[in-house]
A and B are shown apart, each in its own frame.
Chain A
Amino acid sequence: AQKITQTQPGMFVQEKEAVTLDCTYDTSDPSYGLFWYKQPSSGEMIFLIYQGSYDQQNATEGRYSLNFQKARKSANLVISASQLGDSAMYFCAMRESNNAGNMLTFGGGTRLMVKP
């Protein structure tokens, strides 16, 4: 079974609007962490935001926020006020506490395209 599912292969958003990228996960581990990474066309993976399973509040980092719904096992990324530079691939990932070496499991990714 897929541990991380991103159901939107591609999305368009108008510049300056907000956009939500979906991520659902599957784990029986009570302690886990959820990550979002951005990959521009240049290829490097840029860490955006992290949410721990025991964190009481949704994580925020500037224009990025993570809508964490634990009961639904979802960890959607919200980008506010989209910019042209937000056009990229976005990956959701999970680390489970029993993962040796802190390995992350990644979803298939969502390609976001920001329209001017």
Chain B
Amino acid sequence: DVKVTQSSRYLVKRTGEKVFLECVQDMDHENMFWYRQDPGLGLRLIYFSYDVKMKEKGDIPEGYSVSREKKERFSLILESASTNQTSMYLCASSLASTGTGELFFGEGSRLTVL
């Protein structure tokens, strides 16, 4: 069964802390994505990667960075967490070339920054 796994379902961090959100996929997908979900705003793209060590900014990259050292793993980093980064974070992956471009999602990581 295809799977995207996010390391933590729930995290509570303090303002200023460095936060790592990890995502692993077992489908050999080239593309990986980090989205942020907020009520009324839907999902907004933070960063994506189409290959190892490659990354592209999405719509809201400020305050975030990413790392993709291996094809199956895509990490989201909050260098200094702030309260306005309290949100649900969703990781997704997809094949580089496919009929639909469907994204496969992880279960999400709900981050609270105090």
Contact = CB atoms under 8 A, between A and B. Distances in A.
Interface of A: 4, 6, 9, 33, 35, 37, 42-45, 47, 50, 52, 91, 93, 95, 100-109
Given A43-B107, A101-B48, A33 B100 contact: yes
A101 B42 contact: no
Given A33-B100, A35-B102, A102 B94 contact: yes
6 contacts: A43-B88, A44-B105, A91-B43, A101-B48, A103-B58, A106-B42
B32 to A, nearest CB: 9
A100 B101 contact: no
B101 A104 contact: yes
Interface residues of B, number: 32
A105 B88 CA distance: 17
Interface of B: 9, 31, 33, 35, 40-45, 48-50, 56, 58, 88, 90, 92, 94-96, 98, 100-108, 110
B40 to A, nearest CB: 5
Nearest to B102: A47
B96 A108 contact: no
Contacts of A4: 42
Nearest to B104: A47
Nearest to B106: A44
Nearest to B40: A108
A50 B102 contact: yes
A105 B41 CA distance: 11
Contact of B56 (A93, A101, A105, A109): A101
A50 B110 CA distance: 28
A50 B94 CA distance: 15
Contact of B101 (A43, A44, A102, A107): A102
A103 to B, nearest CB: 6
Contact of B41 (A52, A100, A101, A108): A108
A112 B92 CA distance: 23
Contacts of B96: 101-102
